[in-house]
Amino acid sequence: MDAFTIHPWIAYSQHDTLRNVFAPDQCWPIIWDLRDAPEYARQVSNPEESPSRLELSQPATRKAVKIMRIECDDFPESWPVQVVRDDDDITLGDVLSAIHTTLKMRLSKEEYGRLPRRQQLKVAQVFEQRCKMTVDEAQRDACRAHGVIRMDCLVDRIWFDSLTVSPNALDTWILALRQYPPNDFAPREEPPCKDSSIVWDLREPPERARRASDPQQSPSPVQLSHLATSPPLKTLDIVCDIFPQSWPIQIRQTDDITIGDVLNAIYTELRRKITQDVYDGFKDVHRERVKAAFAQRCSMPGSDEEKQTRRSRGVTRIDCLLGHTLFAGLSVHPDMDRTCILTLRKSRG
């Protein structure tokens, strides 16, 4: 697999300052290596401190629930995390413990056999490294005897990022993970931008994106012409777990792909009108939410001509994301060549 890194302006990151201001309720303020028990998580505001028992006992959602299902695109198989409380509402601690417990489960021989050969080699290396991290020989022997666990299959994507409500299923949440440490961007021809990210609502054209360091300024044409990856690529695929269907974003260039190329490709794909068959295939509840998202998009600020154009185009793919329209960044796909994972966050308006 060809290795590459993503320019920090469009690279996925958990703790971008402006993104948290723009959507403060979309990111939990903890730093957590999923290999450790939840009580070893740390607070973003104070990395030396772990969340208190009182904090972990708080409801996990604004509207208290007793059943949650958590899915993750980084899992190589369907390993739904089930959180159920009969006696009380689900807490933050319940969620973190359920994630940790699910990933500590032993991997079956059948599951291991279904992994691609290259992935098997990576998992074996991670497993051996995990066993070497034990404090003594007895624990090391116990680790090897227990065998490979689901956690090992995540390879280096073992840091908790956030949970967002699934737009496609009730009582279901999407778990986002991140690599650590983040890849350094080292372009061949020019230094990296000092700014760490952009803030962009995908309902707006890329030229209306804003700089994280200065919300009043949009990226300049020169900045958008910076290379999107290092080393430069001429082909790049982008996938997203929130898309209700397989809508691959494919970028094919004769020149090296730039940040502007990436943003334009995402925007263009999500402006495509959905077919009647796709719309009819949604469940009734989903269809009503898509209609509401379309109406909200048509009422967004703009000239009368812009609003009329939105209405005349009808329902597009962006409406099917049900409010998950904030660009949160791209991360390198761990298994697919020249492919990135697009992470989105929910807009507040």
Percent of the chain residues past pLDDT 90, beyond the cut: 25
Which of 34-48, 73-87, 142-156, 172-186 shows the lowest mean pLDDT across its residues? Answer: 172-186
Of 238 and 13, the one with more pLDDT: 238
For residues 260 and 230, is the Cβ–Cβ distance under 8 A?
no
* Structure tokens given for 73: 């695109």
pLDDT tens digit string along 241-271? 888 778 889 999 999 999 999 999 999 999 9
- Split at pLDDT 50, 70, 90, the class of 6 is low
Cα separation, 98 vs 250, in Å, equals 36
For residues 338 and 235, is the Cβ–Cβ distance under 8 A?
yes
Percent of the chain residues past pLDDT 70, beyond the cut: 85
Cis preceding-peptide flag for 334 (omega within 30 of 0): no
Q: What's the whole-number mean pLDDT along residues 314-326?
A: 87
Of 41 and 148, the one with more pLDDT: 148
Residue partners of 82: CB distance under 8 A and separation at least 6: 68, 69, 70, 98
- Split at pLDDT 50, 70, 90, the class of 158 is confident
* Domain locations along the chain: 5-105+149-272+320-345, 276-315
pLDDT tens digit string along 196-212? 478 899 998 998 888 87
DSSP 16-77: -HHHHHHSGGGS-SEE-BTTS-GGG-EESS-TT-PPPHHHHTSBSSSS--SEEEEE-TTSSS
Please, what is the average pLDDT of the chain? 81
